[in-house]
Amino acid sequence: MKKEILKIENAIGTVLAHDVTKIVPGEFKGPAFKRGHIIKRKDLETLRNMGKNHVTILTLEEDELHEDESAIRLAKSVIGKGIKISRPSEGKVDMIAEYKGILKVNTQLLFKTNSNEKIVLATLHNNTVVEKETRVAGTRIIPLAIKEREIFEVEEHVEKDEIISIEKMYPLKTGILVTGTEVFTGRITDKFGSVLKKKIIDYGAEFVDIAYAPDDTRVIEKEILSLISKGAEVILVSGGMSVDADDVTPTAISGISSEVVSYGSPVLPGAMFMLAYIGSIAILGIPGCAMYHKSTALDLIYPRVLAKEKITRDDIIQLAHGGLCLGCDQCTYPVCPFGK
């Protein structure tokens, strides 16, 4: 790459080799002039106001790629399903969610890609719930041009396994079972069911039905099977998740399940969370904290269940890093450290 630096008054009629960024604090940041723009005399005042008294003229070698082409190739090589790319701007290409889902990031390949100091690839955290049109990643090169072989090396090491993709969340039919003799007999009014129903709807799942059971393992098991008979693909079981003598919900879930993944999670709030399966049907035991905390272990696992991900014990263990909720007065989850 050959670079020639010219005073702007001597660059009239030349073609810009890259975007020229304009920044107005608190108002604007973006390209004032795009790559390919032919510098005119009327542009000089704008350039001077931006602190640009010189411009760079590039001549690329045959084996080099411009920053825009490099960013496009990088973005195309690292994305998987559910992601589209933007046009390059200021040498950067964004990667954008095509639908609501769970962002999956291969962190080992991500770090390997960034081990080349000329390449930048930044993403949101793995397992972040993202909405359609969310910017999930961005890439660029540091210099104005790069050897094509360096881009090819990235393309080669991600050929069989993309770095980022989005697992679609499905509207799985979800039932609710509220346990507790005090609720079942009407001694106290149920307030948990409405919270969980709203959670189901907010995550885009389909609400099936709500059932109630006393602190009796046989009745709890019967009601779980009843919800399954109504088509439930996921069941949220609330109440009776602690180690108190009357709390038999974990025992009932264990007794009816074909697999207990975990009773307890390294998440606060949500330590008494439980996950089990009856075949492919996920049973989530929800501790009482979910009734008054906006974000708990439920919010870290339920969306992944809706993405039809088979959750393992290792997945639960890995929640420990980032599993502490700060309990902010204004909850901004998932745009916060919780679960990251």
Interatomic CA distance for residues 238 and 314, integer angstroms: 24
Interatomic CA distance for residues 295 and 308, integer angstroms: 21
| Amino acid type, 285 | G
Residue 337: cis peptide before it, omega within 30 degrees of 0:
no
Interatomic CA distance for residues 265 and 268, integer angstroms: 8
How many other CB atoms are there within 10 angstroms of residue 179's CB atom? 28
pLDDT band for position 245 (cuts 50, 70, 90): low
CATH superfamily of this structure's domain 2-59: Molybdopterin biosynthesis moea protein, domain 2 (3.90.105.10)
* Among the ranges given (34-43, 173-182, 312-321), the one the predictor scored with the smallest mean pLDDT: 34-43
Q: In the beta sheet, which residues pair with residue 141?
A: 119
55 in Cβ contact with 43 (< 8 Å): no
pLDDT in tens, 115-167: 999 999 999 999 999 999 999 999 999 988 899 999 999 999 888 889 999 99
Helical packing angle, 192-202 and 297-306, nearest 10°: 50
Q: What does the DSSP 8-state code read for residue 169? A: P
Class of domain 64-168: alpha beta
pLDDT in tens, 264-273: 999 999 999 9
pLDDT in tens, 270-286: 999 999 999 999 999 99
69: phi then psi, degrees, rounded to nearest 5: -65, -40
Average pLDDT of 3-19? 85
Interatomic CA distance for residues 231 and 209, integer angstroms: 10
329: phi then psi, degrees, rounded to nearest 5: -60, -40
Strand 281-286 and strand 234-238: pairing?
A: parallel
Residue 25: cis peptide before it, omega within 30 degrees of 0:
no
Task: Kindly list the domain boundaries of the chain, sorted by start residue.
Answer: 2-59, 64-168, 173-320
- Tokens 């272990």 correspond to what residue? 297
Does an H or E element contain 221, and which? helix 217-229
Q: What does the DSSP 8-state code read for residue 133? A: T
| Span between the terminal Cα atoms of the chain, in Å | 41
Strands (E), the chain: 2-7, 20-24, 28-33, 54-59, 64-66, 83-85, 93-97, 101-105, 119-123, 129-130, 135-141, 145-147, 164-168, 173-179, 206-213, 234-238, 259-263, 274-278, 281-286
- Tokens 């009932």 correspond to what residue? 252
121 in Cβ contact with 137 (< 8 Å): yes
State the CATH architecture for 173-320. 3-Layer(aba) Sandwich (3.40)
Interatomic CA distance for residues 167 and 83, integer angstroms: 10
pLDDT in tens, 61-104: 889 998 889 999 999 999 999 999 999 988 899 999 999 999 99
Closest by CA position to 36, among listed 18, 22, 21, 52: 18
Distances (CA, A) of 236 to 85, 281, 318: 37, 11, 22
pLDDT in tens, 38-72: 789 999 999 999 999 998 877 788 899 988 899 99
